A and B are shown apart, each in its own frame.
Chain A
Amino acid sequence: MRKYVPKDNVQKKAYYTDRFHVVPSVPRSKVEEGSHFADVMKTMGANVKESYIEIGQLVIHIAPEDNFKVMKMLKETCGYTQCSEQSAVDYLAKDNEFELFWQLLNITVAKRIRVVCRLANGAAIESIEPLYKSANFAEREMFDMFGIKVNNHPFLKRILMPDDWEGHPLLKTYPLHGDEFASWYEVDKIFGKEYRDIIGPENRDPGKIDIKDTKRFSRIGYEVPFAAEYNENEEVPVEYSETALVNYNKKTSIQLDERR
């Protein structure tokens, strides 16, 4: 029987985990009174569901429908004038949700905030493009990679993948080597589907060696014409140490003596 592989997360897993292994967590601390972050928290008020400081940065969890309101407050009241990064994390397998984050920067006090929200699968998020223009590309990338729809975005379209691509690559259900569509994409596009047989499937195994294949790099040591017929009786002109058992130590010592 074939081994069962879960379909909802096809990324690589650890092949062995100790039964008694306890995963530690990065320490999280409370916001201190009187600090800059405390002022931010006061301004935010009830919009924040959860907040803590993780590795020097304030993390605030908000509801997905509040994102524009919160960003506007952060930008206009608290001076977070740059949105340096925005993307999503796929938690579909566990919670059927995406985790979205925005990384904001205040350059006057040199502080960073991460705004985090959980968005249900299939729901759309409001665009923050009117506030931060950098969201223009970042939201398009998020749409391309995860398929998260963004409301009121000026031009929501695939950015990194081609327009006619199928699937969203950074989802956990999408395999690293691509699906059927991805593996034939360039052949279908350039030559057409009927040429799949001539060109053949992709070689995804980096260690594969096929002595009969003269189109790849299989015949090491001597040159044959591209796509030449394989001949059983042909001689391999170069011999390697594994076959001829050359005593390299002896040879090199002789060479060294000569050089001296």
Chain B
Amino acid sequence: MQVSNKLTPFFENLNFERDDNRMVINFGPQHPSAHGQLRLVLELDGEQVMKAYPDIGYLHRGIEKMAENMTYNEFLPTTDRLDYIASTSNNYAYALAVEKLLDIEAPRRAQAIRTMLLELNRIISHLFFVATHALDVGAMSVFLYAFREREFAMDLMEDYCGARLTHSAVRIGGVPLDLPAGWLENAAIFCDKIDHEVEHTYGALLNENRIWKMRLEDVGVISAEDALSWGCSGVMLRGSNVKWDIRKEEPYELYGELDFDIPTSDRCDSYGRFRMYMEEMKQSTRMIRQLIPLYKETKPQLMAHSPQYISAPKEEIMTQNYALMQHFVLVTQGMRPPKGEVYVATESPKGELGFYIKSEGEPYAYRLKCRAPSFFHTGLLQKLLVGVYLADVVTIIGTTNIVFGEVDR
């Protein structure tokens, strides 16, 4: 075993100074194109990767441990920090898991707002993907354009919940606020803008760009069987021509009533996945447009009525004694869900985001496991990177669209 000191880092099975032609390089944990704290140990033969070893955990904060020491409502803002590019999808996945456990359903207006926010977050996340992926591969201008549109989406989120990144916009049992005046009109304008930009800016810059295609085509090829076996989900799975989208197959919220397509690609490579991200943005705008009339038909109730678990609306708390008492108990002690376990999967922008909750009837979850899609996509890297050239490594990391808040938790 190597003796660890400041100059030769401890790493078993790997020897950085070697006698043969091979070379071991250390990629990260602060590499600018590693999308956060990914450390890759690559064994190279010339320019070709012979062995890849992703080393994660550099952003491990013990979120699952925190969940065991927090009441259910306290934990909700912590889920923001999982996939911090699209926070609402985490909040939602967690809230849905607890709602399934409590057997309550959010009112229809809350469902409409949630679905709209989820799709808006999907656009934010996909724009971020296009921007950073292009930046990694070498197309700087796309980064600037995509961030320009992302700021509009951020402003919409800020209008709704007041935060840019960490939204906490979904609560257990509903949403805290109604949409502010003029939000729907702005959202409609934003949808038109995104459709136009996806087609005429990013699409025009990248889709048929010769350099872009040369760098992405046939890079990071995953077969359908591999994708399933390695636990891929979301775009990574659909990019391998497996038509599986949780929004369609196990519909939650209003997705069952919406008309949208699921893009798949039989190319199985990075370029196919990039085209699917672009297509998914268009589908998201299509969904938001359908949701605007649906929202207008709903009644104004925002939180589910379930006095055992959910506090009453503020007006009732301020006027009615019993509601105030319930609120006091729920805030000081926390809700006590029934004994049991639940696993709920949702389709986050990155893939299948699921929460497993084991409840023992206490106000604190006995065990909470967050099934993060990026975690399994990072695991796939050790297969995907073998045999590619060093220059393609960055492209492949970019195409998996991993976020380290979620990988390490």
When distances are taken between beta carbons in the complex, the residues of chain A under 8 Å from B250 are 110
Q: How far is the CA of A213 from the CA of B79 in the complex (A)?
A: 33
CB contacts under 8 Å to B, within A169-188, are 169-170, 172, 174, 176
- Partner of B226 from the list A57, A110, A133, A176 (CB cut-off 8 Å) is A133
Q: How far is the CA of A161 from the CA of B189 in the complex (A)?
A: 46
Shortest CB distance A191–B (Å):
11
CB pair A132–B69 under 8 Å, yes or no, is no
Q: How far is the CA of A137 from the CA of B378 in the complex (A)?
A: 9
B314 located at the interface, meaning its Cβ lies under 8 Å from any Cβ of chain A in the complex: no
Number of interface residues, chain B, beta carbon within 8 A:
59
CB contacts under 8 Å to A, within B232-259, are 233, 242, 244, 249-250
Asked, given contacts A14-B333, A54-B340, A55-B100, whether A160 binds B356 with beta carbons under 8 Å apart, the answer is no
Shortest CB distance B220–A (Å):
16
CB pair B231–A161 under 8 Å, yes or no, is no
Q: How far is the CA of A204 from the CA of B408 in the complex (A)?
A: 22
CB contacts under 8 Å to B, within A138-164, are 138, 141, 145, 157-164
With both beta carbons as reference points, the residue of chain B lying nearest to A171 in the complex is identified as: B65
Which of A77-85, A225-233, A248-256 is the interface stretch?
A77-85
CB pair B231–A134 under 8 Å, yes or no, is yes
B32 located at the interface, meaning its Cβ lies under 8 Å from any Cβ of chain A in the complex: no
Shortest CB distance A81–B (Å):
5
CB contacts under 8 Å to A, within B303-331, are none
- Partner of A107 from the list B244, B344, B363, B378 (CB cut-off 8 Å) is B244
A136 located at the interface, meaning its Cβ lies under 8 Å from any Cβ of chain B in the complex: yes
With both beta carbons as reference points, the residue of chain B lying nearest to A26 in the complex is identified as: B340
With both beta carbons as reference points, the residue of chain B lying nearest to A15 in the complex is identified as: B333
CB pair A84–B10 under 8 Å, yes or no, is no
With both beta carbons as reference points, the residue of chain B lying nearest to A24 in the complex is identified as: B338
CB pair A85–B340 under 8 Å, yes or no, is no
CB pair B352–A14 under 8 Å, yes or no, is no
A12 located at the interface, meaning its Cβ lies under 8 Å from any Cβ of chain B in the complex: yes
CB pair A12–B364 under 8 Å, yes or no, is yes
A11 located at the interface, meaning its Cβ lies under 8 Å from any Cβ of chain B in the complex: yes
B366 located at the interface, meaning its Cβ lies under 8 Å from any Cβ of chain A in the complex: yes
CB contacts under 8 Å to A, within B73-123, are 100-101, 103
B376 located at the interface, meaning its Cβ lies under 8 Å from any Cβ of chain A in the complex: yes
CB pair A14–B334 under 8 Å, yes or no, is yes
Asked, given contacts A11-B364, A83-B231, whether A137 binds B379 with beta carbons under 8 Å apart, the answer is yes
When distances are taken between beta carbons in the complex, the residues of chain B under 8 Å from A21 are 336
CB pair B57–A160 under 8 Å, yes or no, is yes
Shortest CB distance A10–B (Å):
10
B147 located at the interface, meaning its Cβ lies under 8 Å from any Cβ of chain A in the complex: no
A68 located at the interface, meaning its Cβ lies under 8 Å from any Cβ of chain B in the complex: no
Q: How far is the CA of A101 from the CA of B408 in the complex (A)?
A: 20
- Partner of A101 from the list B70, B226, B356, B378 (CB cut-off 8 Å) is B356
Contact with A along B54-65 (1 / 0, CB 8 A): 001100101011
Contact with B along A34-69 (1 / 0, CB 8 A): 000000000000000000001101010000000000
Contact with B along A107-137 (1 / 0, CB 8 A): 1001010100000000000000001111011
With both beta carbons as reference points, the residue of chain B lying nearest to A136 in the complex is identified as: B379
With both beta carbons as reference points, the residue of chain A lying nearest to B369 in the complex is identified as: A87
CB pair A161–B57 under 8 Å, yes or no, is yes
B230 located at the interface, meaning its Cβ lies under 8 Å from any Cβ of chain A in the complex: yes
When distances are taken between beta carbons in the complex, the residues of chain A under 8 Å from B215 are none
With both beta carbons as reference points, the residue of chain A lying nearest to B372 in the complex is identified as: A85
Asked, given contacts A24-B338, A176-B65, whether A159 binds B226 with beta carbons under 8 Å apart, the answer is no
CB pair B229–A132 under 8 Å, yes or no, is yes
CB pair B338–A26 under 8 Å, yes or no, is yes
When distances are taken between beta carbons in the complex, the residues of chain B under 8 Å from A162 are 57
When distances are taken between beta carbons in the complex, the residues of chain A under 8 Å from B229 are 81-82, 131-134
- Partner of A25 from the list B244, B340, B408 (CB cut-off 8 Å) is B340
B275 located at the interface, meaning its Cβ lies under 8 Å from any Cβ of chain A in the complex: no
A23 located at the interface, meaning its Cβ lies under 8 Å from any Cβ of chain B in the complex: yes
Q: How far is the CA of A151 from the CA of B371 in the complex (A)?
A: 23
Q: How far is the CA of A218 from the CA of B231 in the complex (A)?
A: 48
When distances are taken between beta carbons in the complex, the residues of chain A under 8 Å from B339 are 23-26
CB pair A85–B408 under 8 Å, yes or no, is no
When distances are taken between beta carbons in the complex, the residues of chain B under 8 Å from A89 are 358, 366-367
Contact with A along B360-397 (1 / 0, CB 8 A): 11111011010100011011101100000000000000
Shortest CB distance A110–B (Å):
4
With both beta carbons as reference points, the residue of chain B lying nearest to A132 in the complex is identified as: B229
A30 located at the interface, meaning its Cβ lies under 8 Å from any Cβ of chain B in the complex: no
Shortest CB distance A166–B (Å):
15
With both beta carbons as reference points, the residue of chain A lying nearest to B69 in the complex is identified as: A12
Q: How far is the CA of A150 from the CA of B12 in the complex (A)?
A: 19
CB pair B56–A84 under 8 Å, yes or no, is no
With both beta carbons as reference points, the residue of chain A lying nearest to B364 in the complex is identified as: A12
CB pair B66–A176 under 8 Å, yes or no, is yes
CB pair B362–A13 under 8 Å, yes or no, is yes
CB pair B231–A84 under 8 Å, yes or no, is yes
B68 located at the interface, meaning its Cβ lies under 8 Å from any Cβ of chain A in the complex: yes
Contact with B along A204-223 (1 / 0, CB 8 A): 00000000000000000000
CB pair B356–A23 under 8 Å, yes or no, is no
When distances are taken between beta carbons in the complex, the residues of chain B under 8 Å from A114 are 341, 343
Shortest CB distance B351–A (Å):
10
CB pair B354–A85 under 8 Å, yes or no, is yes
Q: How far is the CA of A198 from the CA of B378 in the complex (A)?
A: 39
CB pair A134–B379 under 8 Å, yes or no, is yes
- Partner of B371 from the list A15, A59, A84, A172 (CB cut-off 8 Å) is A84
**14 pairs, CB–CB < 8 Å, chain A vs chain B:** A12-B70, A23-B338, A26-B338, A26-B342, A54-B342, A55-B344, A83-B231, A85-B369, A132-B229, A133-B380, A134-B376, A163-B10, A170-B65, A176-B69
| Closest CB pairs A-B (n = 9) | A134-B231, A26-B340, A23-B361, A160-B57, A137-B379, A24-B338, A110-B249, A12-B69, A85-B371
